[in-house]
Chain A
Amino acid sequence: MGATLRHQTVDPDFRNALARFGANSVINCFNCGNCSAICSLSKGNTPFPRKLVRYAQLGLKEKLVQSPELWLCYSCGDCSVTCPRGAEPGETMAALRRYSIASFDPTGLTRRMYESPAVTLTVTLLLAGVLAFLLVSLGQAQPMHGWIFGLVPYEVVHKVGMGVFALLAIVSVAGSIGLVRNYRRSMDGDSPLRGLPLRARLRVLKQLGQEILTMNRHAQCNEDETPAPWYLTPRAIHYSVMAGFLGLFTASGLNFLFVYFLGWGWFPPARVLGTISGLLMLYGVSVSLYQRYRGKATCVTSSALSDWWLLAFLLVLAVTGFWIETAVSFGWAGPVNDTVLLIHTTMAMELVLLLMVTKLAHAVYRPLSLGLYFARQQRDIYEANGGNHD
């Protein structure tokens, strides 16, 4: 365990706070350790979920947000299914991640959004309204029946885009710093990278890259499930959503770079990537939504608002994206297509804007935590070998 905080006072009221993030069964846990032992990902010095459930029971908040284990979990649900007390450790982990995301957000907006569907809805709509207004009011300078990409002038995209990315960068950096700082605190201020030779650091990067590309850890989940066809495994679905998202992000970037910045007018690789990514996204999100709706897979015994929110957002994005692509290909125009574009653009911007305050934040925190985890593994190996790597 390393050093511990001595004389930590317990705060049983914490579980009430946590309940607002969706963890209702923390108190049921009688600490048998089944959840940690059933989890294929709970290894070495990063055991979970019981450790975090226990911290939650006692209200040891600092220890909670300092735990990188939160982000090592892929929510496979094995722990909840086999829990002898119905304590739903998997749900607790998810709620703790929400709590953790909220705790990195100094504005407090995240917490309010998690706690209240009304706030989520208000923020979403309000932000959409602002963005749409911005886009439409500026776009009205152009004739509505013009070539649809004329709808949004370059300057608007540019300015809004700059603003968005600046905001995003600030929030992400703040959140990531918070996570790393917490992690360091749990290691008594020590850095997981300190003293690691370059080769080991590179290995950490390599492991991280591999993990992001393959999601191999995710494949270790659900040992007891009768194997689903490969295209229906949680890993495949998650992978398609993630790859779709990254692909679309990249395609948009490429398009922006070549079409608008360099003025190529037509950049086929971006279009191909965008199409494939869009299909992946559409597939992943649809299956995911369907499974959540049917409560079919172990991982979706219950879904919080934030889960639906994100999936719904991604679904609308993917559908509208394809609409626009089709419209562009066939040279359609008209107010319907304009509106679709407006929705698409608004939502894309909103998603990016809300990145760090929604479930999507895990796209930042999980790789970061994984990196720290790999680093710590490397360091353990390094130290076990008396400072000589390998």
Chain B
Amino acid sequence: MSEQKKSSNPKTESQKPRIGVYICRCGGNISDVVNTDALAGKVKQLGDVAACRVETFMCSDPGQATIVEDIQKQNLNRVVVASCSPFLHELTFRTVVQRGGLNPFLYEHVNIREQDSWAHKHDPVGATSKALRMINAAVGKLHHAEPLERIRMGNHRQTLVVGGGIAGLKTAAELAGKGVPVILVEQSSSLGGRVALLARTFPREDEGSVLAKKLIAQVTDHPLVRIFTRARIERVSGFIGNFDVKIAFEPKPDASASSDPQGAGHSANAAEVYASVGTIIVATGADPYKPARGEYGFGEQPAVVSLADFLRQLATLPNGNFIWNGKRVRNVGFLHCVGSRQVEGVNPPQADGKINDYCSRYCCTAILQQALTLKMRFPDVNVFDFYQDIRTYGGHEDYYTKSSAAGVVFLRYHAEEPPVVEPGENGSALKVRVKDYLTFGEEVEVPLDLLVLGVGLVAHDIPELIDLLKLPVGADRFLQEVHPKLRPVETAVNGVLLAGTAQAPMNIEETLSAAGAAAVKAAIPLSRDAVELDPFVAEVNAEKCNGCERCLTECAYTGALFKETVQVDGESAVKARVNPGLCFGCGACVAVCPTRAIDLKGWTLDQFDAMIDGLVEAVPVEG
């Protein structure tokens, strides 16, 4: 494969490989273990290595400048960087190589940090030798590298938003405002999600339903937004810029849809809808945790309610005495971390066998907001707050301060010793026994007329969508982003983005920010006529293909591999062919092909052979 027929870069043509190898110290992450200077000495002796340098931070501007300069001054035509995971910086260095004037795919990334220095902290000599072998493999691979071009595909410049809560509405409003057409699909019959049900939001004390209505108004009449309620995604295929979606509808129960407060009537539902979109935003939200029967008396004691139920009912109560279910209430308790921060062996596992060991983020502030509201409206009511840590972060601390000043009494329990809820005596409905760590671990007994469980958030159950979009899911059942710091709203599926609580618990303000961030990431690829995809897809050598179709049965991606009948020497023959837009480059077809007729671009079988040789070859590792 080393003989290239065509090349976009004259530099690489008919030239002997001149390979530059760049070794990164990564501060000390690598060089504290790997002897980078000795390594560089050995690398220089490898075949066709024309330059080898060591830098403290290869990814820094001076590091990058070195590569560009060497390519130009030393006529390098292939480049290896040995540094961190390609996940972090492969793209960075491909861009650098391109800046230097080379085809970006004449580049090989070697991970001598995660796979070497970090893994072999206590064996510097071994790690150095391993690094050398890894670089040798990359050099070997580069001997067989050829310039590749990114695949350019058409771009459907519109977005599908799944979920009609505030995250979905906000992304739709922003995108439509920017001129990107949006198809919004909501499973239920109304828009606005959970926020529409909130009496007051924090920290601004806005009316939840008012906020939701405003957002709904922004999208419902927008010419670029089409809303479908009682709808679900039935089929998705394709890739960024070219997702083909089928939307199906729940049958209408009866004609009473108009009773819907948020007006499902905005959407003209049909039997089914087909659309092609460039990007997809998943804004399917989260649900409040539903306590198990008997969990802190829930479901058994009528005086135990969840926060969601409490705030709904509190909003409807008249002022005066605090009457709950017909009874005057004097003592109310709030219990934090119900369904969150659970501990193995203390809290019973959930249906899937896991415990919810994460913090639900919104609940501390939400609880204190309710406690404060309660104290403000009914000053006679005693309020007790059972907590582990009060997590009113940032300005939310104000709720903690104010609810304290309003007279809420706080008691701190340890997760290992959760409060015990028992039937009350002497006229109170309940009795909560708690080992209070603010009072030197003394067991304190609090008589209560009402206990509000500060329930956390759990991921909304969307197995079909997860399956359709091949969405990664974290251990906490929430959808998983590519990288929590670098790319917090993107998923491993290019073009599919996350907005709001589908990803993790958030409050309204954070949800709206996240939605904005998802919207911008959805808009960026749509700002161009075409999308560019990595060229690492399968390619069939028609001459070698014997039409056995084994690859077709193995391919997991619909439409990626298909057969066609061609005329070979006057006879018709069945040959496999690849649709590069749909191929994920998984290599399953390569593995089953009996004639070595299929290769992955950028990862050819010859290259694998060369890499294996490179790893086992006798290299000057001693010394």
Q: In the bound complex, do residue B442 and residue A5 qualify as a contact, i.e. CB atoms below 8 Å apart?
A: yes
Contacts of B442 in A (CB 8 A): 1, 4-6, 8
Shortest Cβ distance from B288 into chain A, in angstroms? 27
Given known A-B contacts A1-B440, A30-B400, A85-B401, A8 and B445 have beta carbons under 8 A apart = yes
Interface residues of A toward B: which range? 20 to 34
- A residues 25-52 near B (Cβ < 8 Å) are 27-31, 51
Contacts of A13 in B (CB 8 A): 382
Q: In the bound complex, do residue B444 and residue A58 qualify as a contact, i.e. CB atoms below 8 Å apart?
A: yes
Complex Cα gap A54–B441 (Å): 12
B427-460 contact mask (Cβ, 8 Å, vs A): 1 or 0 = 0000001001011101111110000000000000
Main secondary structure of the interface of B (DSSP, over half): strand
Shortest Cβ distance from A88 into chain B, in angstroms? 12
Complex Cα gap A8–B436 (Å): 11
Contacts of A30 in B (CB 8 A): 390, 400, 404, 410
Q: In the bound complex, do residue A12 and residue B407 qualify as a contact, i.e. CB atoms below 8 Å apart?
A: yes
- In the complex, whether A157 has a CB less than 8 A from a CB of chain B is no
Complex Cα gap A31–B387 (Å): 13
* A33 closest partner in B (C-beta): B438
Complex Cα gap A232–B384 (Å): 45
Contacts of A54 in B (CB 8 A): 438-439
Complex Cα gap A376–B443 (Å): 26
Q: In the bound complex, do residue A28 and residue B404 qualify as a contact, i.e. CB atoms below 8 Å apart?
A: yes
Complex Cα gap A58–B390 (Å): 18
* A13 closest partner in B (C-beta): B382
Shortest Cβ distance from B447 into chain A, in angstroms? 7
Contacts of A27 in B (CB 8 A): 404-409
- In the complex, whether A57 has a CB less than 8 A from a CB of chain B is yes
Q: In the bound complex, do residue B382 and residue A12 qualify as a contact, i.e. CB atoms below 8 Å apart?
A: yes
Complex Cα gap A273–B256 (Å): 99
Complex Cα gap A328–B433 (Å): 70
For B, the interface residue count at a CB cutoff of 8 angstroms equals 24
Contacts of B405 in A (CB 8 A): 27-28
- A residues 1-17 near B (Cβ < 8 Å) are 1, 4-10, 12-13, 15
Complex Cα gap A13–B433 (Å): 19
Complex Cα gap A8–B410 (Å): 15
Contacts of B412 in A (CB 8 A): 31
Complex Cα gap A203–B407 (Å): 45
Contacts of B436 in A (CB 8 A): 58
Contacts of A12 in B (CB 8 A): 382, 384, 407, 409
Q: Which residue of B384, B406, B433, B439 has the most chain A CB atoms within 10 A of its CB atom?
A: B439
Q: Which residue of A13, A57, A85 has the most chain B CB atoms within 10 A of its CB atom?
A: A57
Q: In the bound complex, do residue B439 and residue A58 qualify as a contact, i.e. CB atoms below 8 Å apart?
A: yes
Given known A-B contacts A30-B400, A58-B444, A10 and B409 have beta carbons under 8 A apart = yes
Q: In the bound complex, do residue A57 and residue B433 qualify as a contact, i.e. CB atoms below 8 Å apart?
A: no
Q: Which residue of A4, A7, A10, A29 has the most chain B CB atoms within 10 A of its CB atom?
A: A10
Contacts of A9 in B (CB 8 A): 444-447
Q: Which residue of A12, A13, A15, A85 has the most chain B CB atoms within 10 A of its CB atom?
A: A12
Shortest Cβ distance from A45 into chain B, in angstroms? 11
Contacts of B384 in A (CB 8 A): 10, 12
Shortest Cβ distance from A124 into chain B, in angstroms? 34
Complex Cα gap A8–B390 (Å): 24
Q: In the bound complex, do residue A6 and residue B438 qualify as a contact, i.e. CB atoms below 8 Å apart?
A: no
Complex Cα gap A85–B398 (Å): 11
Complex Cα gap A232–B150 (Å): 83
Contacts of A85 in B (CB 8 A): 401, 404
Complex Cα gap A58–B412 (Å): 13
Known: A7-B443, A28-B401, A28-B404. 19 other contacts (CB 8 A): A4-B440, A5-B442, A7-B433, A7-B444, A8-B442, A9-B446, A9-B447, A10-B409, A12-B407, A12-B409, A13-B382, A28-B405, A30-B400, A30-B404, A30-B410, A31-B410, A54-B439, A57-B409, A58-B444
Please provide the 6 A-B residue pairs with the shortest distance between their CB atoms, ordered closest to farther. A31-B438, A12-B382, A7-B445, A4-B442, A9-B445, A1-B440
Pull 5 A–B residue pairs with CB atoms less than 8 Å apart, ordered by A. A10-B409, A12-B409, A27-B407, A27-B409, A31-B412
